[in-house]
C-alpha cells in the first residue's frame, strides 16, 4: 500500500510539473484594418482580439495581416507582451507584419530576425509569382520557468500564387534547419493551404531533415472547435478544412488543440479563427 501511495504521488508530482511547464501558443490572422470591412473594420473588433489573447492566455502568438497601428494597440492593451517582426514592404513599419507577440514575463527573447519568402530572402520584395511581399518572422526563446530554449517561426503564405506557396514551403523548411539546428521548433502561420495541398505535404514530409508534425494530429486531447479556420466574417466557417496551422518538431508534446470560434453579438474578432495548442517542451 505504501509503495502504491508513493508511486501515485510521484506520478501526480510529475503530471503537475508537466502541466505547470506547458504553455499555449497560437496562430491568429487578425485581418488588416480596411474601411472595406464596414461594420467589421478593426476599430469595431479590436477589443475582441485583445480579449482573446488575454482570456486564452496565449504565451506566444504568431499573427498575420497586422498593420503597425494594430500591433501598437495590442501591445498597449497587453502590457506584459513584447513583439518581434517588421513591415513586409520596407523591413521597418510599412505594410503588413507577420509578428510574434510573446509574454515577456514568461519568455526571454535570445535572438530574432525576419526574412522574405523570395529568391532574395534578406531583402524586401516579391517572390516568384506572389501577389504580395511575404515574410517569415522568427525568434529564439528561453522559457524562464524551465530554462529550455526553442524557436518559433511565423509566416503568411501568398493567397493566390501556387508556385510561390510551393517555393515558400521549400525555403521555410531550409531556413528552419539552418537557423534552429537541433533545437525544438514551432511553426505558426496562415499558409493559405489545406493539409492535403502540396506546400503542406512538403512541410510535413517525413523525409525532411527536421520532421514537422501538425499539432491537430498529435494532440493528447481531441480537437476542440470547428475544423475550418476561415470565416470571412460570415456566420460560420466557410470550409471544413483548415488553412491556419501550428506545426512542431518531435521534441514538443501537444496536450490540447482548438480552433476558437467565439462570437460577440454574432460577430467574429477576425475573418480567421485563432488556432491554439497547449504544448510542452519535452
Note the pLDDT of residue 15. 52
- CA 58, CA 49: separation in Å to the nearest integer? 12
Collapsed DSSP state (helix, strand, coil) of residue 120: coil
pLDDT in tens, 83-132: 999 999 999 999 999 999 999 999 999 999 999 999 999 999 999 999 99
pLDDT in tens, 195-205: 999 999 999 99
CA–CA distance from 102 to each of 30, 93, 172, 198, 240 (Å)? Answer: 16, 19, 21, 31, 29
Cβ atoms of 212 and 177 within 8 Å: the answer is no
Collapsed DSSP state (helix, strand, coil) of residue 16: helix
H/E element, 272: none
Note the pLDDT of residue 237. 80
Amino acid at each position: 500500500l505504501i509503495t502504491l501511495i508513493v508511486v501515485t504521488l510521484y506520478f501526480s508530482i510529475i503530471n503537475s510539473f508537466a502541466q505547470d511547464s506547458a504553455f499555449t501558443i497560437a496562430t491568429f490572422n487578425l485581418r488588416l484594418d480596411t474601411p472595406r470591412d464596414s461594420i467589421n473594420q478593426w476599430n469595431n473588433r479590436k477589443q475582441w482580439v485583445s480579449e482573446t489573447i488575454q482570456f486564452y492566455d496565449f504565451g506566444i502568438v504568431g499573427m498575420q495581416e497586422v498593420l503597425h497601428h494594430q500591433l501598437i494597440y495590442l501591445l498597449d492593451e497587453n502590457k506584459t507582451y513584447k513583439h518581434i517582426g517588421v513591415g513586409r514592404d520596407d523591413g521597418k513599419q510599412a505594410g503588413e507584419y507577420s509578428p510574434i507577440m510573446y509574454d515577456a514575463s514568461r519568455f526571454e527573447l535570445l535572438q530574432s530576425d525576419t526574412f522574405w519568402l523570395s529568391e532574395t530572402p534578406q531583402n524586401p520584395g516579391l517572390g516568384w509569382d506572389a501577389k504580395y511581399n511575404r515574410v517569415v518572422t522568427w525568434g529564439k526563446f528561453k522559457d524562464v520557468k524551465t530554462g529550455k530554449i526553442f524557436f518559433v517561426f511565423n509566416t503568411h503564405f501568398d493567397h493566390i500564387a501556387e508556385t510561390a506557396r510551393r517555393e515558400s514551403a521549400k525555403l521555410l523548411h531550409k531556413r528552419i534547419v539552418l537557423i534552429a539546428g537541433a533545437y525544438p521548433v514551432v511553426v505558426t502561420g496562415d499558409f493559405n493551404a489545406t493539409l492535403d495541398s502540396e506546400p503542406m505535404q512538403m512541410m510535413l514530409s517525413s523525409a525532411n531533415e527536421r520532421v514537422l508534425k501538425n499539432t491537430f494530429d498529435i494532440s493528447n486531447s481531441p480537437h476542440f472547435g470547428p475544423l475550418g479556420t476561415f470565416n470571412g466574417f460570415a456566420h460560420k466557417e466557410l470550409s471544413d478544412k483548415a488553412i491556419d496551422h501550428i506545426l512542431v518538431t518531435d521534441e514538443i508534446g501537444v496536450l490540447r488543440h482548438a480552433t476558437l470560434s467565439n462570437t460577440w453579438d454574432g460577430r467574429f474578432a477576425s475573418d480567421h479563427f485563432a488556432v491554439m495548442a497547449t504544448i510542452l517542451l519535452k
